[in-house]
């Protein structure tokens, strides 16, 4: 098999030669470097490569090129090699173009010219691109097929599960001819939907998350029954703990109920996370963190529901919903939080049929040229408004408070104010959701004017605070009145340690009322609800796990 290809395109011959020279110097033994001096020539080269059956690992395109700029070129290149990783070469003055490229063609990186020294500015980016390409592979993707109804809550749940777990799938409506043909071939009826047809031809009727996970090849079973560290919850805190735990030699397993990433994984764009000046989608950040953890040897289990935690001597035991269990020396609880339910008439009945909790980015194409409403005034709601403004005819933020400034980051407020089709309705709540088969309109009440207005709405996305997922813990650990897990100094009452504490020391900073059970991220009482702080707490928890293990 011939070597995979790194393709560069730049209309400046000197720059084109320079980048090709630097790439050959570092990657020439493993990759063939192909360069072009225009978008058209590069597309011709890609077509020839496609015909020969060769693989393209990464494409570097200059932004400013005549006739066809780098973004337009990458859009067409994606049709030929959708799994090739993409980077944009740009001058400092064109960083806005890089952000546009991320939104339009999902560029992995942008590189500022000049990139000297390449060891610091070029090679780390290319290393990241080729590592991601190797991890994803370039073999044809075996697609899962989903047949369902556009306004079926169960169909939406299946699509959301597959999308959040990065499982390629193709959607077919039962109302379309091809969808009906697939049902006929599977021997199923329209009332059986949703039907999931796996790459090996099995047809699953209204499958649960664990059933889908097993059918599409996601890891659901632990390889052993005893670990150094079990991490419960795969959001930023859990992924941070998995990366640091596994990289430091701990036998580590991360257990996730639905999909890694948590609420952050659903974010359309995170722009204030350190090291990503052009922003990063929650899905991209999650995918990179998961691959990083697995590279260091961490196991990642998906669609496993944890139902209990207990102490058996020196072991900490985690019980699953099916009655099975795993044991560990130490536990990190990082279960995050769930969006609170919107208390308004009609909302529950229409959930999954026009009403959604979180960003639900799989719904974006169906928002095209339609009125969209978003409830909430924090960053997650603002990020969703910016994202859906690219599709919807209008986006309206419905905010209970008098202003966004007390709950949303300044940079995000400025973005929202600059987007013409986003409006903000303050001092307003949703009183009722209307619709038969799906959401059709909303009743909005303004507390300042006392007026209730009914407005057309095709989609409603809800971001109204969050509650911790800790009911399953029962009395195993101390929680506050809201269900958040108390740790460290918060457990000391008038200098006294929590009841049942067995060690001759105070609880460590992130340690719960059970020695060896640590807490990180949003589920911890008094935590800072930010992605960066969650990742930091995940890393810090592993440091404290080491201290705990050294005491044993």
Distance of alpha carbon 456 from the chain centroid: 30
Residues 368 and 448 reside in one and the same domain:
yes
* Cα–Cα distance measured from residue 2 to residue 54, given in angstroms and rounded to the nearest whole number: 7
Residue 523: CA count within 13 A, CB half-sphere: 33
409 within 8 A of 292, measured Cβ to Cβ = no
407-452 pLDDT, tens digit each: 899 999 999 999 999 999 999 999 999 999 899 999 999 999 999 9
Q: In the structure, what pLDDT confidence band is assigned to residue 100 with cuts at 50, 70 and 90?
A: low
| Domain assignment present for 480 | yes
Residues 331 and 478 reside in one and the same domain:
yes
Residues 445 and 355 reside in one and the same domain:
yes
Q: Report how many domains make up the chain.
A: 4
133 within 8 A of 85, measured Cβ to Cβ = yes
* Cα–Cα distance measured from residue 358 to residue 373, given in angstroms and rounded to the nearest whole number: 12
* Cα–Cα distance measured from residue 43 to residue 62, given in angstroms and rounded to the nearest whole number: 14
Assign 99 to helix, strand or coil: helix
| Domain assignment present for 259 | yes
pLDDT at 501: 93
Within 10 Å of residue 165's Cβ, how many Cβ atoms?
22
Residues 481 and 334 reside in one and the same domain:
yes
In this structure, are strands 226-232 and 325-333 parallel, antiparallel, or unpaired? parallel
Tell me whether the omega of the peptide bond preceding residue 117 falls within 30 degrees of 0, making it cis. Answer: yes
| Domain assignment present for 156 | yes
Residues 193 and 239 reside in one and the same domain:
no
Residues 309 and 361 reside in one and the same domain:
no
Q: Which residues pair with 32 in a beta bridge?
A: 5
Residue that terminates a domain, selected from 168, 185, 215: 215
392 within 8 A of 360, measured Cβ to Cβ = no
Q: How is 161-216 classified by DSSP, letter by letter?
A: HHHHTT--EEEEETTSHHHHHHHHHHT--GGG-SEEE-TTS-EEES--HHHHHHHT
Residue that terminates a domain, selected from 417, 434, 464: 464
104 within 8 A of 75, measured Cβ to Cβ = yes
| Domain assignment present for 469 | no
Give the CATH number, domain containing residue 11: 3.40.50.2300
Name the residue with tokens 């998995």. 242
Residues 159-185 have a mean pLDDT of: 88
**Domain hosting residue 177, numbered range:** 144-215
* Cα–Cα distance measured from residue 437 to residue 433, given in angstroms and rounded to the nearest whole number: 12
Residues 444 and 482 reside in one and the same domain:
no
Assign 311 to helix, strand or coil: strand
In this structure, are strands 459-462 and 355-357 parallel, antiparallel, or unpaired? parallel
pLDDT at 104: 59
Tokens found for residue 359: 């960003």
The predicted model scores a pTM of 0.77
Give the CATH number, domain containing residue 438: 3.50.50.60
111 within 8 A of 90, measured Cβ to Cβ = yes
Residues 501 and 421 reside in one and the same domain:
no
334-357 pLDDT, tens digit each: 999 888 889 999 999 999 999 998
Tokens found for residue 42: 């590069």
Backbone φ and ψ for 109, nearest 5 degrees, come out as: -150, 160
Residue that terminates a domain, selected from 109, 136, 163: 136
Q: In the structure, what pLDDT confidence band is assigned to residue 97 with cuts at 50, 70 and 90?
A: low
Element (DSSP H or E) covering residue 551: helix 531-551
Assign 532 to helix, strand or coil: helix
| Eight-class DSSP state of 2 | P
For Cα atoms 356, 402, 361, give the angle at the middle one, nearest 5 degrees: 20
* Cα–Cα distance measured from residue 28 to residue 410, given in angstroms and rounded to the nearest whole number: 46
CA-closest candidate to residue 444, choices 458, 456, 435: 456
* Cα–Cα distance measured from residue 328 to residue 316, given in angstroms and rounded to the nearest whole number: 5
Tokens found for residue 195: 């039907």
Q: Which residues pair with 308 in a beta bridge?
A: 319
Name the residue with tokens 């050959």. 24
Give the CATH number, domain containing residue 186: 3.40.30.10
| Domain assignment present for 86 | yes
pLDDT at 552: 77
Provide, rounded to the nearest whole percent, the portion of the chain with pLDDT above 70.
Answer: 96
278-310 pLDDT, tens digit each: 677 778 888 889 989 999 999 999 999 999 999
Residues 491 and 434 reside in one and the same domain:
no
* Cα–Cα distance measured from residue 306 to residue 468, given in angstroms and rounded to the nearest whole number: 14
- Could you report how far apart the first and last alpha carbons of the chain are, in Å? 53
Q: Which residues pair with 109 in a beta bridge?
A: 87
pLDDT at 207 over 80: yes
| Domain assignment present for 221 | no
* Cα–Cα distance measured from residue 90 to residue 98, given in angstroms and rounded to the nearest whole number: 7
Residues 312 and 266 reside in one and the same domain:
yes
Residues 126 and 51 reside in one and the same domain:
yes
**Mean pLDDT lowest for which of 93-102, 182-191, 395-404?**
93-102
102-145 pLDDT, tens digit each: 655 677 787 887 788 888 888 988 998 898 888 776 655 567 89
| Domain assignment present for 283 | yes
| Domain assignment present for 194 | yes
Residues 394 and 376 reside in one and the same domain:
yes
Tokens found for residue 244: 């640091």
Q: Give every CB contact of residue 20 below 8 A, 6+ residues apart in sequence.
A: 8, 33, 35
Q: Which residues pair with 85 in a beta bridge?
A: 58
């Amino acid at each position: 098999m011939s070597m995979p290809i790194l393709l560069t395109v730049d209309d400046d011959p000197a720059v084109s030669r320079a980048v090709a020279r630097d790439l050959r110097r570092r990657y020439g033994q493993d990759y063939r470097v192909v360069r072009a001096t225009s978008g058209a020539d590069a597309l011709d080269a890609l077509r020839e490569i496609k015909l020969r059956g060769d693989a393209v690992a990464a494409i570097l395109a200059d932004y400013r090129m005549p006739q066809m700029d780098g973004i337009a070129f990458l859009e067409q290149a994606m049709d030929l090699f959708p799994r090739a990783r993409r980077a944009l070469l740009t001058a400092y003055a064109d960083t806005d173009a890089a952000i546009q490229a991320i939104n339009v063609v999902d560029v992995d990186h942008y590189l500022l010219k000049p990139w000297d020294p390449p060891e610091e500015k070029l090679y780390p980016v290319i290393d990241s691109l080729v590592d991601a390409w190797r991890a994803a592979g370039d073999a044809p993707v075996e697609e899962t097929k989903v047949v369902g109804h556009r306004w079926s809550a169960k169909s939406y749940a299946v699509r959301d599960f597959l999308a959040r777990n990065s499982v390629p799938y193709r959607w077919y409506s039962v109302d379309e001819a091809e969808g009906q043909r697939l049902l006929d071939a599977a021997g199923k009826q329209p009332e059986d939907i949703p039907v999931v047809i796996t790459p090996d031809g099995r047809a699953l009727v209204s499958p649960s998350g664990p059933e889908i996970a097993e059918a599409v090849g996601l890891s659901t079973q632990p390889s052993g029954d005893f670990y150094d560290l079990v991490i419960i919850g795969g959001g930023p805190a859990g992924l941070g703990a998995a990366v640091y735990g596994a990289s430091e030699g701990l036998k580590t397993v991360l257990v996730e109920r639905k999909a890694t990433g948590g609420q952050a994984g659903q974010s359309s764009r995170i722009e204030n996370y350190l090291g990503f000046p052009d922003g990063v989608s929650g899905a991209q950040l999650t995918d990179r963190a998961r691959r990083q953890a697995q590279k260091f040897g961490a196991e990642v289990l998906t669609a496993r529901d944890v139902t209990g935690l207990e102490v058996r001597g020196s072991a900490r035991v985690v019980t699953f919903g099916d009655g099975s269990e795993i044991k560990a020396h130490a536990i990190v609880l990082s279960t995050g939080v769930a969006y609170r339910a919107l208390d308004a008439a009609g909302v529950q009945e229409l959930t999954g049929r026009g009403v959604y909790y979180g960003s639900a980015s799989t719904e974006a194409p169906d928002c095209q040229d339609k009125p969209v409403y978003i409830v909430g005034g924090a960053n997650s709601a603002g990020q969703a408004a910016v994202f859906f403004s690219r599709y919807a005819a209008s986006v309206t933020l419905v905010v209970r408070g008098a202003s966004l400034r007390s709950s949303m980051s300044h940079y995000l407020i400025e973005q929202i104010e600059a987007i013409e089709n986003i409006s903000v309705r303050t001092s307003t709540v949703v009183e009722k959701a209307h619709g038969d088969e799906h959401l059709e309109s909303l009743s909005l009440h303004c507390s300042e004017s006392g007026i209730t207005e009914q407005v057309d709405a095709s989609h409603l996305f809800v971001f109204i605070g969050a509650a911790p997922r800790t009911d399953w813990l029962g009395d195993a650990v101390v929680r506050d009145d809201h269900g958040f897990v108390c740790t460290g100094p918060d457990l000391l009452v008038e200098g006294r340690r929590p009841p049942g504490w067995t060690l001759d020391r105070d609880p460590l900073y992130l340690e719960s009322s059970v020695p060896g059970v640590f807490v990180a991220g949003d589920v911890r009482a008094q935590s800072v609800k930010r992605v960066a702080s969650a990742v930091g707490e995940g890393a810090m928890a592993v440091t404290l796990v080491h201290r705990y293990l050294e005491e044993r």
